[in-house]
Each structure stands twice: as C-alpha cells, then as structure tokens.
Amino acid sequence: MVFASLTFLYCFLAVTLILMWIVPKKLKNLVLLLASLVFYFWGEKLYVWILVFSTVFDYVNGRLIGHFQKTNKKKAAKAILILSVVGNLAILCTFKYSDFFLQNLNHLGLNLKLLGLTLPIGISFYTFQTMSYTIDVYRGEVEVQNNIIAFGTYVTMFPQLIAGPIVRYKNVEQEMNERRITVEDYAAGIRRFVIGLAKKVLLANAAGSVYDTVSQHTSATGAMLWFAGLMYMFQIYFDFSGYSDMAIGLGRMFGFHFPENFNYPYIATSITDFWRRWHITLSTWFREYVYIPLGGNRVGKAKQIRNFLIVWALTGFWHGASWNFVLWGLYFFVLLTLEKFIFGKALSKLPGFVQHLYALVFVFFGWILFSHVELSGIGSTLQGMFGFGKQPFMNREAAYLLYTNLVLTVCLVLGSTELPKKLWGRVENTLSSENHEPSIGLIVLKNAVLALLFLLCVACLLRESYNPFLYFRF
C-alpha cells in the first residue's frame, strides 16, 4: 500500500485517523502500532516477521544495555551493542546483498546457487532506525524505552516505515511517551500531506512517465536521452521528497514532528551543498554513526579521505546491491573530496549562477549512474547523449517530445525552487491583517488551493495506472 493510492486515502488512513481521535490517550500508541503492522502486512505478508523480530531484538538489546550500564558492567553493555549492530547488519546483508555477493563469486568461476530472496520493503530504513536506538542508548543520549508497545510504535510507525525519513529515537523520544494532538498540528499535517501528494502524483508521475517512454525507445536520439535524464532527475526528487512530505504530514497528524529530509537540493551551489539538502536524514545517520566514530575531521588529511571513502562507498551500497550504486557513491566521494581539499575555496569565489550550474551538471550525471542498474546501460546512454550512438542527436520525434512536455518541464523546474514558496509568502503578506493574523480571505484561499490540489491528485489516481514509487526497492 502506498500513500498515493485511493485505498490508502479513503480506507486505511480514514479509519486510522478516526480511531486515533476516539481512543483514550493511553491506547494511542497501541492503535498506531496495530495500524502500522496492518499497513506493512498489506504489502509484505511474507516478511512481516522480520520487522517484528527486529523490533523485539533491539527492544531487548536496549533493555540489556541500560541494565548493564546501571550496574557499571561496561564490557557487557558493549558486547550487547556489538550483538545489536552485527545482528541488524546480518539481517540486512542476508536479504539485500547475499545474491549480489554470490553472483560476483560465480563470475570468478564458482557455481554457487543463488538464494533468490526478495527484498523486504523498508528494511534499509527500519534497520538503521533500530541500530541508531541501541547506539544512542549505549552512548547515554536517550533513555531506555521500557514499554515495548511504545518502542514497537517507534519502529513500525507507518508514516516513515517504508522510505523514511530515517527517524532516530532521540527525534521522537518525548513524543513517544507524552504528546498532544492539537487541531493546529492536525491542520498543518493535512497541508503538508496534500503538498507531498501533489508533488508525487502531479509532478513525479508525469516526469517518470516521460522517462519510461524514452527508456523503452529502441532508437532514442541524443536529445531524447538528455531529456530523459532530466526527467529522471526531477522524478526521483519529487517522488522521494513528496513521499517525505507526506510522511512528515502524517506524523504531524499523529502528534510527531519528524525531521526534514529535503531542502531544495536543486538550488545547491556545490556538491557539498547538495548533500546538505538531499536525503538529510540518511546523510545525518552516516555522519553520526560512521564518519564521526572513524575520526571525522579531527584526523589528518589522509585519514579524512579514508573516512570519506568508507562513508560514500557505504552510502552507495546502501541504496542497492548493484555495482552502479557503488560507482554512484564513489563518484560523489571523488567530487566531495576534490571540493574539500582542492578547489572548494576557488569555487566559492565564482559567480553564483556558475556555482549552481556546476552543481546541477554533476548531479545530473550522478543520476545517470544511479538510474542504470546495468553498467552497459550507462555506457550506451552516455554514448548516445554525446553523439557517439547510431541515432542522430535530433529528429522530428525528439522535437515533438520536447515541445509537448514544455509546460511540464517549466512546472518541474519552478517546483524544485523556492519560487512557489516565496510567491505564496507574498500572497499571505498581502491578504493578512495589519497585526499579521491570517484574514478570512486568506484562509479560504489556502483551503481552496489545497482542496483543488487534492481533487486533481484523486482525478489522476482514478484515471492513471502509472504510479510507481522509486524508493520501494531500497
């Protein structure tokens, strides 16, 4: 079940919200836990037991670490932490990477049988969340959660279960035990959810449809390949950021304040700036639990580069069991290392539009690596883009493709910037009263815009079967 579906909107979400409003405060975590398990079981009937096991496993580990720390048994606490980390990584590697390693061993001449395990939905996200909990308990940064219902709610919470944001326990520790669901939070959550839904249904799906059409074309020209790369660049942004917006909005409806996951990454002026804005919770996770423990910036230049290499190789590999993801991670490792140690200061002195163009070009080619699981596909795409393929760079079909998607392209470009937010801010300032309180006209306009967006999304969902979600495979 995906958020951008009529089943979720009119059945699951409606029932869950009603239950959350009518049950007493002490039962809200239990209701959310049960609803989340139903949500996960709907799409992952076979492997729901892994989610349950991970929850119980790290609940027990957290309790044991807390107990050993209170009794000053530091070695025992560290042993449990190691057990937690190794256990979680073993589960993740078994289901996500076992066939990848077996296939590569077979390329060396072995004849090993592949396991053929399907990837459990969301395992990369909830595994990182449970690990962060036990690590933070060991560090003394959070209190042990003794209530298994509350801890199970944290791990399985359906708004962020499938594709994040990666919510560390410290982000919601107070709200797990004591939270108020106010009308203001509920209204803000609805607004955020509808905006995310519109980004996903109206923009990401439209861009993805164009990309898939060109990808399946047997004789795509260079211009078509460039345009397809641009469409994928926008699809993955609006798809993932839209999902994050919906997750944050849903969390707000249930009384939680999830961390932001995107901050207009396509207005970045460097690759470093891009990664401060893209998938923020994943970058934060690797910084807090890998980069800093390795020494971070507190070590010499050689070790800093080593730390960069480890983090970005793992970041790439986290996204999928394929060499193109590893290559993608190493690609950004090289760029970030060059920026930090060689030309970063010189880059910052260039005009802003040059910095922005530089960042966009290298991010664009990064998505070319990311979008092709087969390395041969990367090579053939790059050849075609630069005129070394069998097809001409431009023909009538390519011109027609560009012309018919001109309005969509403009909407995608503008939607990925701060311009819509700034324009809406001006509207709010114009329609607000002298004491800056929203006027009746502004309230009516805001709700009308949200209602229109929601109706457009529902109309699209009713008539279209194309509704993929890219990050399900991660």
pLDDT in tens, 356-367: 999 999 999 999
Percent of the chain with pLDDT over 90: 71
| Residue 272 pLDDT | 95
Residue (of 200, 196, 198) closest to 209 by Cα position? 200
Residue with token string 């994040």: 164
| Residue 390 pLDDT | 78
Q: Report the half-sphere exposure of 332 (CA within 13 A, side-chain side).
A: 30
Instruction: Assess whether 217 carries a catalytic annotation.
Output: no
Give the model confidence (pLDDT) of 446-455 as tens digits.
889 999 999 9
| Residue 218 pLDDT | 82
3-state secondary structure of 290: helix
Q: Which token pair is 50?
A: 């892994």
Instruction: For the chain, give the mean pLDDT.
Output: 91
In this structure, which amino acid lies at residue 455?
A: L
Percent of the chain with pLDDT over 70: 97
User: By mean pLDDT, which of 121-135, 327-341, 378-392, 445-459 is the weakest?
Assistant: 378-392
Q: Residues near 39 by Cβ (< 8 Å), separated by ≥ 6? A: 1, 12, 158, 161
Query: What is the DSSP track for 335-362?
Result: HHHHIIIIIHHHHHTS-HHHHHHHHHHH
Q: Which token pair is 83?
A: 């057990």
In this structure, which amino acid lies at residue 391?
A: Q
Q: Which token pair is 125?
A: 């996200």
Q: How many other CB atoms are there within 10 angstroms of residue 10's CB atom?
A: 11
Instruction: Report the predicted TM-score, pTM, of the whole model to 2 decimal places.
Output: 0.93
Average pLDDT on 406-435 reads 88
User: By mean pLDDT, which of 65-74, 381-390, 409-418 is the weakest?
Assistant: 381-390
| Residue 436 pLDDT | 66
pLDDT of residue 204 exceeding 90? yes
Residue (of 184, 136, 182, 222) closest to 21 by Cα position? 182
Q: Which of 67, 217, 279, 319 is catalytic?
A: 319
Q: Which residue did the predictor score with more confidence, 463 or 31?
A: 31
| Residue 344 pLDDT | 82
| Residue 403 pLDDT | 95
Q: Which token pair is 179?
A: 């939270």
Give the model confidence (pLDDT) of 240-252 as tens digits.
999 999 999 999 9
Residue (of 179, 177, 165, 169) closest to 55 by Cα position? 169
pLDDT bin (cut points 50, 70, 90) of residue 391 is: confident
Residue 473 has what DSSP assignment? G
| Residue 96 pLDDT | 92
Q: Residues near 137 by Cβ (< 8 Å), separated by ≥ 6? A: 62, 65, 66, 143, 144
| Residue 358 pLDDT | 96
CA 99/CA 104 separation, integer angstroms: 8
3-state secondary structure of 458: helix
Give the model confidence (pLDDT) of 261-284 as tens digits.
999 999 999 999 999 999 999 999
Query: What is the DSSP track for 40-86?
Result: HHHH-SSSHHHHHHHHHHHHHHHHHHHHHHHTT-HHHHHHHHHHHHH
pLDDT bin (cut points 50, 70, 90) of residue 432 is: confident
| Residue 260 pLDDT | 94
CA 412/CA 453 separation, integer angstroms: 16
pLDDT bin (cut points 50, 70, 90) of residue 296 is: confident
Give the model confidence (pLDDT) of 159-185 as tens digits.
998 887 999 999 999 898 888 888 888
Average pLDDT on 51-59 reads 95
Average pLDDT on 118-130 reads 91
Residue with token string 């709010």: 428
| Residue 430 pLDDT | 80
Task: Please return the burial class of 368, using the count of CB atoms within 10 Å of its CB with bins 0-12, 13-18 and 19+.
Answer: buried
Q: Residues near 65 by Cβ (< 8 Å), separated by ≥ 6? A: 77, 80, 81, 84, 134, 137, 138, 144
User: Cβ(254)–Cβ(192) under 8 Å?
Assistant: no
Q: Residues near 43 by Cβ (< 8 Å), separated by ≥ 6? A: 1, 121, 162
| Residue 435 pLDDT | 65
pLDDT of residue 473 exceeding 60? no
| Residue 433 pLDDT | 66
| Residue 180 pLDDT | 82
